[in-house]
Copies of this chain bind each other. A is one copy, B any other.
Amino acid sequence: MSDQTRFLLNETDLPKAWYNINADMPVPPAPVLNPQTLEPITPDFLSVLFPMPLIMQEISTDRYIDIPEEVREIYKLYRPTPLIRARRLEKFLDTPAHIYYKYEGASPAGSHKPNTAIPQAYYNKISGTKALTTETGAGQWGSALALACNFFDIGLEVYMVKVSYDNKPYRRIMMETYGAQVFASPSDRTAYGRKVLAETPDNPGSLGIAISEAVEVAATSGGAKKYSLGSVLNHVLLHQTVVGEEALKQMDLAGEYPDVVFGCVGGGSNFGGLAYPFLRRNLREGQRTRLVAVEPTATPSLTKGVYAFDYGDTAKMAPVAKMYTLGHDFIPAPIHAGGLRYHGMAPSLSALYDAGYLEAVAVPQLATFEAAIQFARTEGIIPAPESSHAIRAAIDEALDAKVKGEKRVILFNLSGHGNFDMTAYQAYLSGKLEDFEYPEEAIKASMANLPKVAVEA
């Protein structure tokens, strides 16, 4: 066991391939359905929105997919990211557990999102795409894709939820600094946006509306523009496995192997990215690491949702997939972890959770900020509210190890820093944050609106 604090890899250790969980899925994948027909989707339908290389990755069952050299060159601006042992947090908790975290906030955009934004921009570039469209809530995904599109010299239109556009300008300015065009959604640039504005001129927007606008712009561009999504899809989780592949090497440097791995989940990409390479070891090499997804109690899709076919967006324009869901018209409570406010969950992650290969736990908002402050004051880094869910679970695990007097090796994904989330910290420090009750009745109503195929499946 090493006595070091930070475990760094040189760029020669940067992974040369992503790991594709589809090669080792112990359960068969459910089909993805066309949202209009509810029949299995065709590559033609997908090709309106995505370039062919990404569609091929979406359905590939190859175990490893080479990372293009052009993508690795840009990864090298910030990768490999550090693996850090949280020695000061361990001491503060007085725990026999060893706590490690993979720090994805070291990227220029401040989160793990560039790991997939960069290859998505690359594959679009080589496929002739002139511009991408996407949606963003608080702006983590939008700023990562703005960074990536800038590198490959393709345009980007970001539809940003209006309430965030107005109240959280810093991420918007970051996107503009990278050269992207950012529009408050609902906007007058799309038929769907105009319809919403006509009905509700003061509509504050939602991720569902913004997705619909971004999809509409791409779908009606005659092929010049494609659409890009920052989580949920197979190819997104694939790209994020660069995190777990590095972590495997770094745990070797540390001379330890994790008993348990945590990551926060909204759509599932940062957790899947870290956990899937460890799951490969579980499935193929007999390791027995517990892999735990951590979600907010306000959006408990894994712990309180159902495993069913559902639409990916509110307007029913995105494909239908079998996933853990709270219902596509469920409106999440306004927690500060904006990146976790999604009704569904990545289909691969849902299937693995359903089959018992992954665990899940839900934590409330106040407890995550308590953990975030403990982390900031011991380790220095102020974490993103999303990532703080993983910190909360890691601390709980370390405290449990303390009660039981067990040495336990814990690894979590610190998926981003909180530099753009300081108003959330202010709300917490001034006692203005609250927990949200799980809206049992609202979710029941949403469940009644699942597409019919759900009961047939």
Contacts and interface: CB of A to CB of B under 8 A. Distances in A.
Interface stretch (A6-14, A154-162, A189-197, A310-318): A6-14
B425 A173 contact: yes
A174 B84 CA distance: 22
Nearest to A171: B422
Interface in A182-209: none
Given A10-B4, A11-B5, A176 B419 contact: no
A38 interface: no
Interface stretch (A226-234, A277-285, A376-384, A402-410): A376-384
A77 interface: yes
A376 B109 CA distance: 10
A177 interface: yes
Contacts of A223: none
A93 interface: no
A3 to B, nearest CB: 10
Contact of A6 (B11, B174, B376, B423): B11
A179 B382 CA distance: 12
A381 B423 CA distance: 23
A143 to B, nearest CB: 10
Contact of A169 (B4, B88, B376, B422): B422
Nearest to A381: B108
Contacts of A6: 11, 76-77
B10 A423 contact: no
Query: Which of A76, A380, A381, A429 has most B Cβ within 10 Å?
Result: A380
B423 A420 contact: no
B170 A422 contact: yes
Contacts of A420: 419
A108 B4 contact: no
A426 B182 CA distance: 13
Contacts of A423: 169-170, 173
A169 B381 contact: no
Given A108-B381, A419-B110, A178 B376 contact: yes
A422 B4 CA distance: 35
Contacts of A425: 173-174, 176-177
A356 to B, nearest CB: 38
A339 to B, nearest CB: 17
A150 interface: yes
A147 interface: yes
A5 to B, nearest CB: 5
B178 A377 contact: yes
A169 B425 CA distance: 11
Nearest to A377: B150
B76 A177 contact: no
Contacts of A401: none
A358 interface: no
A106 interface: yes
Interface of A: 4-6, 8, 10-12, 73, 76-78, 84, 88, 106-110, 147, 150-151, 169-170, 173-174, 176-179, 373, 376-377, 379-382, 419-420, 422-423, 425-426, 429
14 contacts: A4-B10, A4-B76, A5-B76, A77-B380, A107-B380, A108-B380, A169-B426, A170-B170, A170-B422, A173-B423, A174-B422, A174-B425, A178-B376, A179-B377
